[in-house]
Structure 1
Amino acid sequence: MDPTTTTFILLSLLLYGSTTGFSRVFSSESCPFPAIFNFGASNSDTGGFAAAFFQPKPPYGDTFFGMPSGRACDGRLIVDFTAESLDLPFLSSYLNSLATNFSHGANFATVSSTIRLPTADVIPQGQASPFYLSLQCSQFAQFKNRSQIIRRQGGIYASLMPREETFAKALYTFDIGQNDLTQSLFLNMTIVQVIAAIPDIVNHFLDNIKNLYSLGARLFWVYNTRPIGCFPQILTSFPSAKKDSVGCAKPYNRLAQRFNAELKNALARLRIEFPLATIVYVDLYSALYSLYTHPTKNGNKIPKDAILLLFYFNLKFLCANQYDRHKFFFF
């Protein structure tokens, strides 16, 4: 396989992102981050949902890990490639208590998580995760405190915890917000109603960034949300929505664009408020939408309808290593 295809998505993110000091691809030489602390939902969950509820069954994990890996994906996620680019091991979930090494960071993401307190029924009765962003950040605060107690106590577990200075030098990544939009839509809210809620969603996100800043975080990497109008679940649930030239539902993509615009503006204001922080806004929407608009240019030879069918049955976005000439498993 051409090695450039396996890292296409990660490279796209970095090239499309609006950055403040991180305009090139991660490398251990240019970006010597000692750890990553990740917050998010299924697109970056490396085992939180599996630890709290149940392990996703095959084909999840089959292609790269050879077994279920706690990911809603059959390969690796962008957060995995980010860790590899920094010469760090894959992130373990904070919720995973078995043979876990947190010295290089921790992952607080879980499938179906939202920024705000979920209004939908939570798992296992419903579809929403109880681990919304504020709870994930509370888990981080507890982790930071307790990990240093363990280090001071010494013994065999001390080396499995990050050093105190790691927290200020670590990279804090965020991939969350998509479910705030889609879960609202499936609760029969109109697009207009969801748009009206966007400022509150973004403000809740900013509150959590500020909280993490107060705990010592300084380097923030924020992904915007995806082109949800291209999601098969949106296309099948709202079949009458006006389509664009590639078959995506225009009103729902405009909803995502509205969220992304408000998020980008809010982060710009936050840079002014916290000049000592580095806050990177990554345009994931554009990178992924280009896969729909230029599929053959990006190495995919499967027709659009077949792509959407594969999306539907594979369920979750962002198995970056699966982007190659032969198959297109992104969900």
Structure 2
Amino acid sequence: MKPSLLLFLLFSCFHLCYCAQRYDAIFSFGDSLSDAGNLIVKNPSVYLTSKWPYGMTFFHKPTGRCSDGRLFIDFIAEAVGLPLPPPSLKSGEDFQKGANFATTGGTVLEYSFFQRRGLTKSIFTTDNLNTQISWFEQMKPSLCSTTQGCKDYVGKSLFVVGEFGGNDYNAFLFSGKSMAEVRANTPTIVDGLAKGVERLISNGAVDLVVPGILPIGCFPLYLQLYKSTSKDDYDQFGCLKKYNNVAFYHNQLLKIKLQQLQQRYPGTRVIYGDFYNAAMQFVTNPQKYGFSNGALKACCGGGGPYNVNLDYRCGQKGSNVCNDPSTYASWDGIHFTEAANRYVANGLLRGPYANPPIMS
């Protein structure tokens, strides 16, 4: 065999082995962007995500996911050859290949933080980041039994920590707090998230993806709630600038914190997930992704320019749903359609919205 051919084959093999990231399990933490049904386990009749048309596209029934189908975490699991991680609170599930601890409404900070400040109006769960990590720690002995066994198992698992933070900011914004107060509390929220990531590392996590928050100023819900008569409040794409600035500031601080964690724990791989720009691609060039109805209007809602009406929310009597969710980026005004979730996941798996990409 010619030396050049041998080198080519060796390089090809190395390249394949390096790119085919192998995980034994996947564990997900977060809020409604990741929740696979934890919120509705205890009381399925109360929440809208247990009602049609949620789940209409893929599951053909509501599952508790805040979408018409699969979430970004589901697509990541499929891409790495694992089953969709089941909701951790659901009895009778096999969690050996992973679990989804995310809960709709989940925050970074403890409920008491918001309670002391009179900000609990929009918080409907006390299941924050620390709660979810505690659930993982309680489950861990059933997944591995020895110190070395747990080190190997957890070390070969993928941890996706977030999105987290959106509901923390909602607590301030929906209560009418000033942008100055929101900004003043951003370091506390980011520090809380970083401490949660570090706690998972102390539990043996090696590969962790930590998404930033989305451009909330482009959410149909925000556009409806905070619509303005001043053109200066909007960017060139029709998004509210000051709300996107909240997300941008959070993400800048988060990237710094994650870089510090990576330096402190060089044996880990801490990946920042760029949800902000992953979502902005739908806003700036919706046609490229087949979103002929754009990104600023919900598929499912109660009418109006953004198809958002709090009196007729998706799943409530009086709301409407589009014929083809794949032509929309926004499902219900604050969450992605399955089609958008697929693109977000792909950007994390293969780039450019994760550095390094998960599959590298």
- TM-score, normalised by the number of residues in structure 1: 0.79
Residues 1:101 and 2:91 are matched in the alignment: no
Residues 1:165 and 2:152 are matched in the alignment: yes
1:231-279 superposed Cα distances (whole Å, 9 cap, x missing partner): 2222222223711111110000011000000000110111111111100
1:185-211 superposed Cα distances (whole Å, 9 cap, x missing partner): 112211110111011111111111111
Partners of 2:150 and 2:206 in 1: CA distance: 16
Q: In terms of mean alpha carbon deviation, does 211-220 or 313-322 score higher?
A: 313-322
Residues 1:135 and 2:147 are matched in the alignment: no
Partners of 1:229 and 1:81 in 2: CA distance: 26
Partners of 2:249 and 2:296 in 1: CA distance: 27
Alpha carbons 1:60, 1:73 under 8 Å: kept: yes
Partners of 1:86 and 1:63 in 2: CA distance: 22
Partners of 2:98 and 2:27 in 1: CA distance: 5
Alpha carbons 1:41, 1:110 under 8 Å: kept: yes
User: Kindly tell me: are residues 323 and 82 of structure 1, through their superposed partners in 2, closer, same or farther at Cα, counting changes over 3 Å?
Assistant: closer
Identity %: 32
Alpha carbons 2:38, 2:101 under 8 Å: kept: yes
Counterpart of 1:201?
189
Q: What's the secondary structure of 1:279's corresponding residue? A: strand
Residues 1:286 and 2:282 are matched in the alignment: no
Partners of 1:122 and 1:136 in 2: CA distance: 21
Q: CA deviation at 1:323?
A: 7.4
Q: CA deviation at 1:72?
A: 1.4
Q: CA deviation at 1:164?
A: 6.5
Q: CA deviation at 1:101?
A: 1.1
User: Kindly tell me: are residues 114 and 50 of structure 1, through their superposed partners in 2, closer, same or farther at Cα, counting changes over 3 Å?
Assistant: same
User: Kindly tell me: are residues 117 and 305 of structure 1, through their superposed partners in 2, closer, same or farther at Cα, counting changes over 3 Å?
Assistant: closer
Q: Over aligned residue pairs, what C-alpha RMSD do you find?
A: 2.7
Q: CA deviation at 1:146?
A: 4.1
Counterpart of 1:17?
none
**Larger of the two Rg values belongs to structure:** 2
Letter in 2 for 1:100: E
Higher relative contact order (CA 8 A, sep 6+): 1
Q: What's the secondary structure of 2:250's corresponding residue? A: helix
Alpha carbons 2:219, 2:333 under 8 Å: kept: no
Q: CA deviation at 1:318?
A: 2.7
Partners of 1:217 and 1:288 in 2: CA distance: 27
Residues 1:297 and 2:285 are matched in the alignment: no
Partners of 1:140 and 1:93 in 2: CA distance: 12
User: Kindly tell me: are residues 300 and 28 of structure 1, through their superposed partners in 2, closer, same or farther at Cα, counting changes over 3 Å?
Assistant: farther
1:288-321 superposed Cα distances (whole Å, 9 cap, x missing partner): 1121111122222225664573577424423333
1:94-117 superposed Cα distances (whole Å, 9 cap, x missing partner): 1111x3110101111000101001
Q: What's the secondary structure of 1:225's corresponding residue? A: coil
Counterpart of 1:265?
256
2:59 to 65, 78, 91: 65
Alpha carbons 2:221, 2:333 under 8 Å: kept: no
- TM-score, normalised by the number of residues in structure 2: 0.73
Q: What's the secondary structure of 1:233's corresponding residue? A: helix
Partners of 1:128 and 1:28 in 2: CA distance: 43
Unpaired runs of 5+ residues, structure 1, are 1-25, 152-161, 325-331
2:226 to 209, 223, 238: 238
Alpha carbons 1:80, 1:91 under 8 Å: kept: yes
User: Kindly tell me: are residues 290 and 311 of structure 1, through their superposed partners in 2, closer, same or farther at Cα, counting changes over 3 Å?
Assistant: farther
Alpha carbons 1:37, 1:172 under 8 Å: kept: yes
Partners of 1:316 and 1:28 in 2: CA distance: 36
2:176 to 185, 188, 191: 188
Alpha carbons 2:282, 2:295 under 8 Å: kept: no
Alpha carbons 1:64, 1:74 under 8 Å: kept: yes
Letter in 1 for 2:208: F
User: Kindly tell me: are residues 261 and 111 of structure 1, through their superposed partners in 2, closer, same or farther at Cα, counting changes over 3 Å?
Assistant: same
Counterpart of 2:320?
none
Alpha carbons 1:109, 1:136 under 8 Å: kept: yes
Partners of 1:135 and 1:323 in 2: CA distance: 26
Q: What's the secondary structure of 1:297's corresponding residue? A: helix
